[in-house]
Amino acid sequence: MNSNSKIVDQTVAHALSGKGAHVATPSIFAGLDWKVAGNQPAGAPHSIFQLLKHMTYWQDWVVKWLDGKRPPVPKHASGSWPDTPDPVDAEEWKEAVKDFRVTLDELGRQSRKTDVFAMLGKKSRLEMLQTIASHTSYHAGQVVLLRQMLKKWPPPSGGLTW
């Protein structure tokens, strides 16, 4: 592996994890009670639970795409959002967080699996990894803001401050 490949691999890993940009992406849901996850502060279009499920939906979609499958795209944006703002119980919340972390880890594995410059249809694997990293980062910021509004920030591991 040449030095450019190492730089690209490291850049993709940092983009997926939030390293150097914001609190570690896998920890944004840590320590959050399932009952709080369904709250929507006044004016917020989504709850933390809805953001979690939406992020996981698209991470899973990209994992499938990177595997060479062609997952269908929803007809409308609403097709990737859950209907209800809150989890039914603690178990649903726990599973949703686990699914998020599993798909995020799988994206990391996919980024190291083969040449990121390889084309899959009209996009390279790198383009798709950058797209999903940006999408996840965008919504991670929304989760942090909602947690701050709900007075449930930072997570047990701490926030990003200096």
pLDDT tens for each residue of 62-82: 999 999 999 999 999 899 999
Average pLDDT over residues 70-96: 95
Q: How far apart are CA 20 and CA 32, in angstroms?
A: 23
- Band of residue 161 on the pLDDT scale cut at 50, 70, 90: low
Mean pLDDT over 136-160 rounds to 91
Residue 40 CB contacts under 8 Å (≥ 6 apart), including other chains: 46, 47, 85
Instruction: Give the pLDDT of residue 1.
Output: 59
**pLDDT surpassing 70 at residue 87:** yes
Note whether 89 and 97 are within 8 A (CB).
no
Q: What percent of the chain has pLDDT over 90?
A: 71
pLDDT value for 115: 87
Average pLDDT, the chain: 92
Q: Is the dihedral of CA 9, 12, 16, 18 positive or negative?
A: positive
